Chain A
Amino acid sequence: MAEYQTHEYDVIVIGAGGAGLRAAIESSAMGAKTALVCKSLLGKAHTVMAEGGMAAALANVDKADNWQTHFRDTVLGGKYMGNWRMQQLHAQESPERALELERWGAVFDRTPEGKINQRAFGGHTWKRLAHVGDRTGLEMIRTLQDKGVHQGIDVFMECTIVELLKDSGRVVGAFGYWRETGKFVVFKAKAVVMATGGIGKMFRVTSNSWEYTADGHALALRAGAELIDMEFVQFHPTGMVWPPGVKGILVTEAVRGEGGLLKNSQGERFMERYDPKRMELSTRDQVAKAIYTEVKEGRGTPHGGVWLDISHKDAEYIKKKLPSMYHQFKDLADVDITTSPMEIGPTMHYIMGGIRVVPESGAATVPGLFACGECSGGMHGGNRLGGNSLSDLLVFGKRAGEGAALFARDNGAHVGFDDAQIKRTEQDVLRPFESRASHTPYDLHFELQDLMQDNVGIMRTGDDLKTAIAVFPAFNEKLRGARVEGSRMFNPGWHLAWDMVNMLLIAEVVARAALQREESRGAHTRLDFPKTDSGGYWETVNSCATYEDGRVGMGLIPKPVMPAELKALVDATA
Chain B
Amino acid sequence: MSRMQTGQKVTFRILRGEGDSLKEVDYHVEAETGWVVLDAVLNIQATQAPDLSVRWNCKAAKCGSCSAEVNGKPRLMCKTRLDDIDTSQPVVVHPIKSFPHVKDLVADVKWNYEVNKRITPFTPAKDADFTYYQEDVDRVQEFRKCIECFLCQNVCHILRNHEAHSRFAGPRFFVRVAGLEMHPMDTADRTQFLDQEAGVFLCNITKCCTHVCPEDIHITDNAIIPLKERVIDRKYDPLQWLVRKVTGKK
Q: In the complex, what residues of A have CB within 8 A of residue B60's CB?
A: 49, 246, 249-250, 328, 332
Q: How large is the interface on B (under 10, 10 to 19, 20 to 34, 35 or more residues)?
A: 35 or more
Interface string of B30-68 (1 = CB under 8 A from A): 001111100100000111001111111111111111000
Q: In the complex, what residues of A have CB within 8 A of residue B140's CB?
A: 107
Which chain B residue has the least Cβ–Cβ distance from A493? B50
| Given A109-B134, A180-B102, A442-B45: A489 in contact with B121 (beta carbons within 8 A) | no
Q: How large is the interface on A (under 10, 10 to 19, 20 to 34, 35 or more residues)?
A: 35 or more
Partner of B183, one of A107, A149, A157, A243: A107
B169 close to chain A: CB less than 8 A: no
Of B109-117, B205-213, B235-243, the one contacting chain A is B109-117
Q: In the complex, what residues of B have CB within 8 A of residue A132's CB?
A: 141, 144
Q: How far is the CB of A493 from chain B (nearest CB, A)?
A: 3
Interface of chain A residues 224 through 275 with chain B (CB within 8 A): 242-246, 249-250
A139 close to chain B: CB less than 8 A: yes
- Give the CA-CA distance A244 to B32 in the complex, in Å: 7
Interface of chain B residues 71 through 119 with chain A (CB within 8 A): 79, 81, 102-104, 106, 108-110, 113, 116-117
- Give the CA-CA distance A99 to B103 in the complex, in Å: 43
Which chain A residue has the least Cβ–Cβ distance from B50? A493
- Give the CA-CA distance A84 to B177 in the complex, in Å: 43
Q: How far is the CB of A26 from chain B (nearest CB, A)?
A: 17
Which chain A residue has the least Cβ–Cβ distance from B79? A331
> In the complex the two chains form, is A138's CB within 8 Å of B62's CB?
yes
A30 close to chain B: CB less than 8 A: no
Interface string of B130-161 (1 = CB under 8 A from A): 11111011001100111110000000000000
A452 close to chain B: CB less than 8 A: no
Which chain A residue has the least Cβ–Cβ distance from B84? A331
A490 close to chain B: CB less than 8 A: yes
Q: How far is the CB of A12 from chain B (nearest CB, A)?
A: 19
- Give the CA-CA distance A45 to B65 in the complex, in Å: 10
A44 close to chain B: CB less than 8 A: yes
A492 close to chain B: CB less than 8 A: yes
Interface of chain A residues 272 through 331 with chain B (CB within 8 A): 324, 327-328, 331
Of A63-71, A412-420, A479-487, the one contacting chain B is A479-487
Task: Please count the residue pairs between chain A and chain B whose beta carbons lie under 8 angstroms apart in the complex.
Answer: 165
Which chain A residue has the least Cβ–Cβ distance from B130? A102
Partner of A147, one of B45, B121, B133: B121
> In the complex the two chains form, is A107's CB within 8 Å of B51's CB?
no
Of A110-118, A455-463, A464-472, the one contacting chain B is A110-118
Q: How far is the CB of A426 from chain B (nearest CB, A)?
A: 20
- Give the CA-CA distance A244 to B63 in the complex, in Å: 21
> In the complex the two chains form, is A149's CB within 8 Å of B59's CB?
no
> In the complex the two chains form, is A328's CB within 8 Å of B61's CB?
yes
Q: In the complex, what residues of A have CB within 8 A of residue B65's CB?
A: 40-41, 44
A475 close to chain B: CB less than 8 A: no
- Give the CA-CA distance A333 to B104 in the complex, in Å: 29
Interface string of B11-46 (1 = CB under 8 A from A): 000000010000000000000111110010000011
A211 close to chain B: CB less than 8 A: yes
A-B contact pairs, 13 of them (CB 8 A): A40-B55, A45-B57, A46-B57, A102-B130, A132-B144, A139-B144, A142-B144, A142-B146, A146-B121, A149-B116, A243-B34, A489-B102, A493-B45
A residues with a Cβ closer than 8 A to B are 40-46, 48-49, 99, 102-105, 107, 109-110, 112-115, 132-133, 135, 138-139, 142, 146-147, 149-150, 155, 157, 180, 209-211, 242-246, 249-250, 324, 327-328, 331-333, 440-442, 446, 484-487, 489-494
Given contacts A41-B55, A49-B58, A331-B79, 17 further A-B contacts (CB under 8 A): A44-B57, A105-B186, A107-B137, A109-B134, A110-B133, A157-B110, A210-B56, A245-B32, A328-B60, A440-B50, A484-B50, A484-B51, A485-B51, A486-B50, A489-B18, A491-B53, A493-B50
